[in-house]
Structure 1
Amino acid sequence: MNHKKQAEQILEAIGGKENLSAATHCVTRLRLALHDEGIVDQEKLNNIDAVKGSFSTNGQFQIVVGQGTVDKVYKEFVALAGVGESSKEEVKEASKGNMNPIQRAIKTLADIFIPILPAIVTAGLLLGINNILTAQGIFWDEQSIIDVYPQWSGIANMIIIIANTAFVFLPGLIGWSAVKKFGGSPILGIVIGLVLVHPDLLNAWSYGDAVAEGSVPTWDLFGLTVEKIGYQGQVLPVLVASYLLTKIELFLRNRIPDNIQLLFVGPISLLVTGFLTFIIIGPITFAIGNWITDGLVATFDTFAWLGGLIYGGLYGVLVITGMHHTFLAVDIQLVGSTGTTFLWPMLALSNIAQGSAAFAIWLASKDDKLKGLSVSSGISAWLGITEPALFGVNLRFKYPFIIAITSSALAGLYISAQGVLASSIGVGGVPGIFSIVAEYWLDFAIGMVIVIVLPLVGTYLYAKRKKDV
C-alpha cells in the first residue's frame, strides 16, 4: 500500500487541510478535529483502500484504518496537512467547539467513567466466575459447586473479595478519575473518595435498617447534628465532592507561594471539601441518587416489558449520539444501591444485535473490502465495541441498523418481562452472560438467540433482495 497516496486521498475527502484543526490516532483510527464535518465527501472516503469506515463522536471525526497501518498513514497525513502531530488531549481540546453544552456534559461523564471501566468490567467477570461456583441449581438441584465440592469454597471467597474491591472502594476510583478530569491532583481525588467509605462511617447499605432502628450515628458540631454515614456504591456524592475539591485546590494554588503549598493546599482542600460533603453535599446527592434508583426500579417493576422494549431498542441510537455514557453512571449507581442492574443486560444484547447485522452483511456481500470490515466490526461488537459496526457498516446501509435495534427491542422486552438482572457490569457482548445472575442465564440466553438470529437472517435476506452490498 502506498501510504502517502492513501493519506492524500483521505485529506482530499475530508475537505483539505483548510478543514483540519488537529489530528492524532489510536490503535486503529485516525482521530481528527475538523472545522466543518458537513463538507466531508463520505462516498469518496469510503472508496479509499485504506479506509474501513468512519464516524463522528464527541466532536471528533474518526476514520477506521486498521492496526499496523494507521500509524504509517498518520505520519504521511500530518506531513501533507502541515498540522504537526497532536496528542489525544490536544485533539479533544480542538474538537470542543464542535459540541453543544449537552454533548460537553456527556463527554465529561464519559471522560470520568471510561478510565475506570477496565476495573469495573474485570470485577464483573470475576463476579461471573464466583456466580458459577456459588449459585445453586446450575449443575445440581438446589446445590452449588462449593456445596458439592467444599474444597473450592476458599477459592470462591478469595475471588469475591478481589471482585468486590472495585465496588467497595468505587468512590476512590471515581474520585481519582473525576479530579484528574477537572484538572486537580488525582491523589487528592483518591483520598476524598476513600474518606467517603471510611470504615468508621455507617455503611450506606446498612443505612435503611439503622433509620428503622433509630441507631444512625451522628456528629455534634457545635449544636449541628450531622449523620455519620458512608457513601458506598454512590456516584453523585463523590462526583460533586471531586468538583468542589478541584476548584478549592486550584484557587489555593494560584494564591499560595510554591514553597509552602504542600503545607496548606492539600490539608485545606480536603478539610473544607470533607466538611461540606458530610454536612451538605452528601445528604443532598445521596437522596437524589436514591430517588433516581427508586424511580427506575419502580418504573421497571410496573412496566417492565415496556421499559425493556424502549431501552433495548433505543440503546443503539444512544450510542450514535454518545448519550449511552450517561447510563454507565446509572448502571454503577444501581449496582451500588441494589446489588444488581436490569439495564446492563439490554446493553449487552443491543451490542450483539449490531454485531449480528454486520455479520449478515459479511455473508451477503461480494465486495472484499466490505466483507473484511463487516467481519472485523461484527467480532468487535460481539465483544462490546459497536462503533465500527455502527458507523462503518450498519448506518451506511441503514436497514441493518433498523433490523438490529428492532431485534434488540424485542429481546429487551423479553428479558425485562422475565426480570433478568446482572450482578455487575461486564463485557457488553457475548461474554456478558457471565455477569448475569445465575438464575436468569436461560432467559438471557434466549435473549441472545433473538439478537443473533433475527438480525443475521433479516439483514441477510434484505441485503440479498436489495442487492446493494
Structure 2
Amino acid sequence: MNYKKSAESILNAIGGENNIDAMAHCATRLRLVLKDESLIDEESLSSMEVVKGTFATGGQYQIIIGSGTVNKVFAELEKITGKEASATSEVKSEGNKSMNPFQKFVKMLSDIFVPIIPAIVAGGLLMGINNILTAPGIFYNHHSLIEVHSQFKGLAEMIDIFANAPFTLLPILIGFSAAKRFGGNAFLGAALGMILVHPELMSAYDYPKAVELGKSIPHWHLFGLEINRVGYQGQVLPMLVATYILAKLEQGLRKVVPTVLDNLLTPLISILVTAFITFLFVGPITRTLGYWLSDGLTWLYEFGGAIGGLIFGLLYAPIVITGMHHSFIAIETQLIADNATTGGSFIFPIATMSNVAQGAAALAAFLIIKKNKKLKGIASAAGISALLGVTEPAMFGVNLKLRYPFIGAIIGSGIGAAYISFFKVKAIALGTAGLPGFISISGVNHGWLHYGIGIAITFIVTFVVTYALSFRKKYV
C-alpha cells in the first residue's frame, strides 16, 4: 500500500490541511478536529481502499483505517501537513469546544465512568460466577452447586466479597475519577469517597429498610442540627455532586491561600467543608433523587413490559449515533449496585440486542453486496465484530451507508428487546454487550435462556428484514 498516496487522498477529502485544527490517532482510527465538517467529501473517503468507515462524535471526525495501518498513514499526514500529533486529550479538548451543553454533560459522565468500568465489570462478572455457584436449579433440581458440594462454599463466600467490594466502595472509585475530571486532586476525591462509606456509618443498604420499619436512624447533634450518620455505599449521584463541590472549592482555595500554607490548609478545608455539607443536605437530597431516578426507570421498564422494550430497542442505535448512550453508564452503575432491590440493569440486555442486530445486518449486507468488494470485506469483519460487542465498524462503515441494513437492524433490535423485556431479563454486571454477555445476565427466572432466545430472535429478524429491504430499489 502506498501510505503517502493514501494520506494525500484523505487530506484532500477532508478539505485540506487548512481545515485541520488538531489530529491524533488511536489503535484503529484517525481522530481529527476539523474547522468545517461540511467540506468533507464522504463519497471520496468511502471509495478509498484504506478507509474502512467514518463517523463523527464528540466534536471529532474519526476515520476507521485499521490496526497497524493507521499509524503509517498518520505518519505520512504529519510529513505532508507539517503538523505534529496532538495528545488524545488535546484532541478531545478541541472537539469539546464545538459541543452543545448537553453533549458536554454526556461527555463528562463518559469521562468519569469509562475509566472505572474495568473495576465494575470485574465485580459484576464475579457476581455472575457467584450466582452460578449459589443459584438453585442450574446444575441440580432445587439445589445449588454449593449445597451439593459443600467444599465449594468457602470459595463462593470469598467470591461474594470480591464481587461486592467495587460496588460497596463505589464512591471511592467515583471520587477519584470525578475529582480528576473536575480539575481537583484525585486523591482528595478518593478520601471523600472513603468518608462516605466509613464503616462507623449506618450502611446505605440498611437505611431504606430502617426507614420502612420505622427504626431510629443514628445521627449527630451539631449546632442544633440533627445530621444522619448514614453512609453512601453503592451511591452514584451523591458522590458526583459532592466531588464537584470538592474540586471547585479546592480550586478556589488554591487561588487565595498563601503558597506556604497551601498544602496544609487547602486539603483540610476542602475535605472538612465538603464532607460537612454533604452529610448535612447535599447527600440526603441527591440520595433521594437517585432513588427516584432508579425507581422511576425500573417502574417504566416493569410497567412498559414488551412495549417499553420495543421502543427502547428501536431507539437504542439512533441514541448511540448521538453519543447519548454514554449517559446510561451512570444509570446502569446505580441499577447494578442496587441489584438487591432493582434486580439489575435492563439497559445492558437491550444494548446487546442492538449490537447483535447491527452485526446481523452487516452480515446480511455481506451476502447481498455483489460488486463493491471493499465494502463486502468490511461487512464480513464488521459483522462478526458487532456480534462480539464492538459495533462502530458495522454501524458507521456499512449499515448507515447502505441505509437498508440500519433499518433492518433497528427493527430486529426492537423485536428482540421486546422479547427480553417481556421476560424481565436483567444484567447484574457490565460487560461485553454481545454474544459473550451471558455471564453478566442474572439467572433469575431463566434469564440466561431468554437472553439466548432474544439474541436468536434479533439475529433472525434483522437478517430477514435486511435481506427483504435490499430488493426494494429505494433502499439500495
Equivalent in the alignment of 2:35: 35
Match of 1:406 among 390, 394, 411: 411
**1:345 and 2:349 matched:** yes
1:327-366 paired onto structure 2 within 5 Å: 327-339=328-340, 340-366=344-370
Distance 1:138 1:371 in 2: 42
Cα 1:375–1:131 change in 2 (3 A) is: farther
Contact 1:121 1:427 (C-alpha < 8 Å) held by counterparts? no
Distance 2:231 2:87 in 1: 39
* Secondary structure of the corresponding residue to residue 55 of structure 2: strand
Contact 1:177 1:186 (C-alpha < 8 Å) held by counterparts? yes
Distance 1:289 1:313 in 2: 26
* Secondary structure of the corresponding residue to residue 458 of structure 1: helix
What is the CA distance between 1:200 and its match in structure 2? 1.1
Distance 1:134 1:388 in 2: 39
* Secondary structure of the corresponding residue to residue 98 of structure 1: coil
Cα 1:375–1:155 change in 2 (3 A) is: farther
One-letter code aligned to 1:382: L
1:437-448 paired onto structure 2 within 5 Å: 437-438=442-443, 439-448=446-455
1:232-247 paired onto structure 2 within 5 Å: 232-247=233-248
Distance 1:293 1:430 in 2: 27
Equivalent in the alignment of 2:134: 134
1:323-347 residue CA offsets vs partner (Å, 9 max, x unmatched): 0011111111112234312222111
Cα 1:80–1:268 change in 2 (3 A) is: same
Distance 1:16 1:79 in 2: 14
What is the CA distance between 1:215 and its match in structure 2? 2.0
> Would you say how many aligned residue pairs link Structure 1 and Structure 2?
469
* Secondary structure of the corresponding residue to residue 338 of structure 2: helix
**Same amino acid, percent of matched pairs:** 50
One-letter code aligned to 1:216: I
One-letter code aligned to 2:17: K
Distance 2:38 2:152 in 1: 59
What is the CA distance between 1:385 and its match in structure 2? 2.3
What is the CA distance between 1:447 and its match in structure 2? 0.5
Distance 1:123 1:253 in 2: 37
Contact 2:205 2:233 (C-alpha < 8 Å) held by counterparts? yes
Contact 2:408 2:469 (C-alpha < 8 Å) held by counterparts? no
Distance 2:124 2:394 in 1: 24
Match of 2:457 among 437, 450, 455: 450
Note the aligned Cα RMSD (angstroms).
1.7
Equivalent in the alignment of 2:265: 264
Equivalent in the alignment of 2:285: 284
Distance 1:16 1:9 in 2: 10
Moved over 4 A (4+): 464-469
* Secondary structure of the corresponding residue to residue 226 of structure 1: strand
Distance 1:229 1:304 in 2: 35
One-letter code aligned to 1:451: T
Equivalent in the alignment of 1:147: 147
Contact 1:364 1:464 (C-alpha < 8 Å) held by counterparts? no
The more displaced of 252-261 and 423-432 is 252-261
1:162-181 paired onto structure 2 within 5 Å: 162-181=162-181
1:81-128 residue CA offsets vs partner (Å, 9 max, x unmatched): 232110011111111232111111111111111111122222222222
What is the CA distance between 1:255 and its match in structure 2? 2.2
What is the CA distance between 1:362 and its match in structure 2? 2.3
Equivalent in the alignment of 2:317: 316
The more displaced of 153-162 and 172-181 is 153-162
One-letter code aligned to 2:71: D
* Secondary structure of the corresponding residue to residue 225 of structure 1: strand
**TM-score using structure 1 length:** 0.96
Contact 2:6 2:73 (C-alpha < 8 Å) held by counterparts? yes
Contact 1:176 1:187 (C-alpha < 8 Å) held by counterparts? yes
* Secondary structure of the corresponding residue to residue 206 of structure 2: helix
Equivalent in the alignment of 2:377: 372
What is the CA distance between 1:268 and its match in structure 2? 1.1
**Structure 1: unaligned runs, 5 residues or longer:** none
What is the CA distance between 1:468 and its match in structure 2? 8.8
1:392-448 residue CA offsets vs partner (Å, 9 max, x unmatched): 111111111111111111111111111112222221111112111113111111111
Distance 2:458 2:124 in 1: 22
What is the CA distance between 1:4 and its match in structure 2? 1.0
The more displaced of 309-318 and 379-388 is 379-388
**TM-score using structure 2 length:** 0.95
The more displaced of 58-67 and 363-372 is 363-372
What is the CA distance between 1:272 and its match in structure 2? 0.8
**Structure 2: unaligned runs, 5 residues or longer:** none
Distance 1:222 1:243 in 2: 26
Distance 1:464 1:399 in 2: 10
Cα 1:130–1:337 change in 2 (3 A) is: closer
Equivalent in the alignment of 1:189: 189
What is the CA distance between 1:238 and its match in structure 2? 0.6
1:294-352 residue CA offsets vs partner (Å, 9 max, x unmatched): 21222222221221111111111110000001111111111223431222211121111
1:118-172 residue CA offsets vs partner (Å, 9 max, x unmatched): 2222222222222222221122211222222222222222222222221111111
Contact 1:125 1:427 (C-alpha < 8 Å) held by counterparts? no
Distance 2:402 2:381 in 1: 17
Cα 1:303–1:16 change in 2 (3 A) is: same
1:375-390 paired onto structure 2 within 5 Å: 375-390=380-395
Distance 1:384 1:402 in 2: 19
Contact 1:23 1:78 (C-alpha < 8 Å) held by counterparts? no
One-letter code aligned to 2:166: A
The more displaced of 221-230 and 90-99 is 90-99
Distance 1:278 1:180 in 2: 22
1:216-250 residue CA offsets vs partner (Å, 9 max, x unmatched): 11111121001111111211101001111110111
Distance 2:407 2:149 in 1: 48
Distance 1:360 1:309 in 2: 22
Distance 1:369 1:201 in 2: 61
One-letter code aligned to 1:445: G
The more displaced of 295-304 and 111-120 is 295-304
* Secondary structure of the corresponding residue to residue 92 of structure 1: helix
Distance 1:362 1:155 in 2: 46
**1:84 and 2:74 matched:** no
One-letter code aligned to 1:422: A
What is the CA distance between 1:369 and its match in structure 2? 2.1
Contact 1:54 1:63 (C-alpha < 8 Å) held by counterparts? yes
Cα 1:5–1:135 change in 2 (3 A) is: same
Contact 1:351 1:385 (C-alpha < 8 Å) held by counterparts? yes
Contact 1:168 1:233 (C-alpha < 8 Å) held by counterparts? yes
What is the CA distance between 1:461 and its match in structure 2? 4.5
